[in-house]
Amino acid sequence: ECRTPKRIVSVSSFADMYEIGKEVMPSTHSYMKVNFATRKKDGHEVVVKQRFKPNCFRSREDERSWRRNTEFLLNMPDNSGIARIYEVIEDSRAFYIVMEKVGGMDLFEALEQEGKVSVPMAKDILRQLLSSLAHLHSHNAVHKDLKLENVMLDYTPKDMKSPSSVKVIDFDTLEEWTPNSPTSKDVVGTDQYIAQEAYAGKYSPLSDMFAVGVIAYRLLTGKFPFHDEMFDDEAGENWVGSPKMAQIRRRLKVAKVDFSNPVFREVPQACDLVMRMLAYNEMQRPSASAALEHPWLQEDEGGGRRRSRDEDEGGCRFGASAAGRQRHWDEDLIDDGIVVAQ
């Protein structure tokens, strides 16, 4: 069935439609605020991101790009793992992105409280996150700023089909993507989560997968995979081709991620998946849908095995049955045209 595409709607006054409430969190941008709000006609509670005119875009081209990507997002089919965008409204004062109010807390807050999560919880979060990402990617979208703060754990009881319901939020950087998309002029994202190719302006679904690898590593170990000192760029240096972006990219090439954490010795298949998602060469990373088929994520809780004696300090080494499942997954990836790192 054909439906009319959703557009950014111009109105005389947003305040006639919604009652703005308290701020959700302070914004890092002077031109932006995020507030709770209530729709006046029915009392429905939402979150509203306000972009204040006239300084919310750097240029006319920047505004055109934002409008195009916002309307692209507005028309994406709904998915339970993606926070819904109900409508985008414009008046003389600002643009207003009206979004689903998601309960719970973000992953950053959860880890601040807990340090790290259990392996079963990490597996559940990653399954749901990858499923949401597979949905975005299947509709030719890249998020470009996946991080702990942009993944919500929704504990609303009606949504509870498992220990937590996971939703991706914050689509300021989301773009429509095809293999022929032009190289970006700016390096977008957050330190630790930005893939090496993004420092050269080459974003793709596999760049998002690198960010999932960082999230997975942090969930399982309580630490980030890279030293903070690697990311020492100053404001204004995040343009593609700048010496600092090239330097950080070189650092990522030689960086050694520590996989000696006890959790990786106990769960070598988790180690394998995280290692693959963090691969420097993007073509060695699995897609979101392929990662969902990884033996570790396919394994039911309680179906694990004891670590064998040959699994030493560094490693992602498997017993016979796990190794068999691993070979099947590797062969499927090769069939899909994805080269896997050994």
Give DSSP secondary structure letters for 177-219: --TTPPPPSB--S-TTT--GGGGGT---HHHHHHHHHHHHHHH
> How far is Cα 65 from Cα 67, in angstroms, rounded to an integer?
6
Compute φ and ψ for 279, nearest 5 degrees: -55, 140
According to DSSP, the residues that pair with 82 across neighbouring strands are 168
DSSP state for residue 115 in the 8-state scheme? S
Q: What is the CATH number of domain 9-100?
A: 3.30.200.20
- Class of residue 233 by CB neighbours under 10 A (exposed 0-12, middle 13-18, buried 19+): middle
Look at residue 322 in the predicted model and tell me its pLDDT. Answer: 56
Task: Report helix angle 119-138 to 268-277, nearest 10.
Answer: 30
Look at residue 320 in the predicted model and tell me its pLDDT. Answer: 46
Model pTM score: 0.87
- Class of residue 204 by CB neighbours under 10 A (exposed 0-12, middle 13-18, buried 19+): buried
> How far is Cα 186 from Cα 189, in angstroms, rounded to an integer?
10
Tens-binned pLDDT, residue by residue, of the chain (342 aa): 567 899 999 999 999 999 999 999 888 888 999 999 999 999 999 999 999 999 999 899 999 999 999 999 999 999 999 999 999 999 999 999 999 999 888 999 989 988 888 999 999 999 999 999 999 999 999 999 999 999 999 765 554 444 468 999 999 999 999 999 999 999 999 999 999 999 999 999 999 999 999 999 999 999 999 999 999 999 899 999 999 999 999 999 999 999 999 999 999 999 999 999 999 999 999 999 999 999 999 987 655 543 433 344 445 655 545 555 565 556 555 444 443 333
> How far is Cα 154 from Cα 131, in angstroms, rounded to an integer?
16
Residues recognised as catalytic = 145
> How far is Cα 139 from Cα 126, in angstroms, rounded to an integer?
20
What are the residue ranges spanned by the domains of the chain? 9-100, 104-297
- Residue 95's nearest CA partner among 34, 43, 27, 145 is 34
Cβ atoms of residues 69 and 174 within 8 Å: yes
3-class secondary-structure state, position 221: helix
Neighbours of 253 (CB within 10 A): 10
Look at residue 29 in the predicted model and tell me its pLDDT. Answer: 83
> How far is Cα 90 from Cα 51, in angstroms, rounded to an integer?
9
Look at residue 155 in the predicted model and tell me its pLDDT. Answer: 63
Domain spanning 104-297: which superfamily?
Transferase(Phosphotransferase) domain 1 (1.10.510.10)
Contacts of residue 85, Cβ cutoff 8 Å, sequence gap at least 6: 73, 74, 97, 98, 99, 100, 171
Look at residue 214 in the predicted model and tell me its pLDDT. Answer: 99
Contacts of residue 160, Cβ cutoff 8 Å, sequence gap at least 6: none
The contacts found for 33-36 with CB under 8 angstroms, 24 or more apart, are 36/101
